[in-house]
Amino acid sequence: MIRDILDPVYEPAQLRTFLAVAQTLSFTRAADRLGVRQSTVSQHVRRLEDATGRQLFSRDTHRVELTQDGEAMLGFARTILEAHERAAAFFAGTRLRGRLRFGASEDFVLTRLPEILESFRRDHPEVELELTVELSGTLHQRLAAGRLDLVLAKRRVGDAHGELVWRDALTWIGAPRLRIDPDRPVPLVLFPPPGITRARALEVLEEHGRPWRIACTSTSLSGLVAAARAGLGVMAHSRGMVPPGLMPLPPRSGLPDLGDVDFVLLHGRHRGRSQEAADALAAAILTGADRLLRGADASGAILGGDAG
């Protein structure tokens, strides 16, 4: 009788698998992230679809996309898993403590990462969370030097380090009325070195023989967005996190394809007292990653932190 009331039952393992596929849009990459076989991922998704009685993904040999019901399941899955993890932590009787040095790349200053961090601080009030907002390349350097415990950032093409959070297409973005003159150098709005999107943009333009010039350089995403909104030039940016007031350039702009970009979590090598806190925050980010990819904050809220 009780089981009948609770049906359908959504298993946490199946929900985690669903989120991994939804965030990477790939059964193969989801399997890599979860450390399981692809057949296990397919089985979990099939069982979840059987439990809901709905198709959550449309898929063929080339693409995986969320259906409308899959989009709805994103919020439910995240809420169920967050409640499950809070209950498990409560009844385990352990409270996380210590200092956690977390680095997030500038890409996230206009997303809903603050919501994830706020929830983490509420659940783990005795963890001293220190946030650093910087360029991805700089965060990689600080992590290697032992100055950070956990990093959420982009990784370079071909780099296998880190736990994949999602893969997205890089695209050229600019002001709605911006037009690129094919006979003049491409005006670029860029992060300074060692910015990963900067390096990719310049590499691609050089490979295709397109002249370019730097119209604006800033370590702040807000500064770059302001310059791009003013029509000073184009930016290379994740398609899933296009800032308000900007838009992907149409194919007729003639700019070369930028390929994909990976967003990853990386743990520091020296994993002492901060290890459990870093693992807990990493789990929270993986659970709520769809908020980052799909949830650019139209209000323009900016992350606080140490950008030095």
- Report the CATH number at residue 105: 3.40.190.10
What does the alpha-carbon distance between residue 234 and residue 289 come to, in Å, rounded to a whole number? 26
The DSSP-derived string for 113-146 is HHHHHHHHHHH-TTEEEEEEEE-HHHHHHHHHTT
pLDDT at residue 301, as a whole number: 39
Q: Are residues 31 and 107 in the same domain?
A: no
Q: Are residues 253 and 197 in the same domain?
A: yes
Structure tokens at 61: 């040999």
Q: What is the rounded (10 degree) CA torsion for 6, 10, 91, 75?
A: -110
What does the alpha-carbon distance between residue 205 and residue 209 come to, in Å, rounded to a whole number? 6
Whether the pLDDT of residue 167 is over 90: the answer is no
- Count up the domains in the chain and report the number: 3
Does a structural domain hold residue 140? yes
Query: What percent of the chain has pLDDT above 90?
Result: 53
Q: Are residues 193 and 215 in the same domain?
A: yes
H helix or E strand, kind and range, residue 62: none
Quickly state the pLDDT bin for 67 (edges 50, 70, 90). very high
Whether the pLDDT of residue 297 is over 50: the answer is no
Structure tokens at 57: 């993904």
C-alpha of 177 from chain center? 28
pLDDT at residue 6, as a whole number: 44
pLDDT in tens, 6-42: 456 789 999 999 998 988 888 988 898 888 999 999 9
Does a structural domain hold residue 57? yes
Range(s) of the domain holding residue 63: 2-90
Look at residue 296 and give its three-state secondary structure: coil
The answer to whether the CB of 187 falls within 8 A of the CB of 234 is: yes
Burial of 9: CB neighbours in 10 Å, binned 0-12, 13-18, 19+: exposed
pLDDT at residue 1, as a whole number: 41
Task: Please calculate the CA angle 119-102-114 and round it to the nearest 5 degrees.
Answer: 35
Amino acid at 230: A
Q: Are residues 109 and 70 in the same domain?
A: no
Q: Are residues 108 and 140 in the same domain?
A: yes
pLDDT at residue 43, as a whole number: 95
Q: Are residues 240 and 117 in the same domain?
A: no
The answer to whether the CB of 237 falls within 8 A of the CB of 169 is: no
Mean pLDDT computed over 252-261: 92
H helix or E strand, kind and range, residue 57: strand 57-59
pLDDT at residue 24, as a whole number: 84
Q: Are residues 155 and 187 in the same domain?
A: no
pLDDT at residue 188, as a whole number: 98
Mean pLDDT computed over 281-304: 65
Tell me, what CATH number does 71's domain have? 1.10.10.10
| Residue from 307, 306, 303 nearest 118 by CA | 303
Peptide bond into 12 cis (omega under 30): no
Integer CA distances (angstroms), 96 to 89, 148, 149, 303, in order? 9, 18, 15, 24
Final residue of a structural domain among 34, 60, 90: 90
What does the alpha-carbon distance between residue 42 and residue 74 come to, in Å, rounded to a whole number? 17
What does the alpha-carbon distance between residue 159 and residue 115 come to, in Å, rounded to a whole number? 29
| Residue from 148, 234, 140 nearest 194 by CA | 140
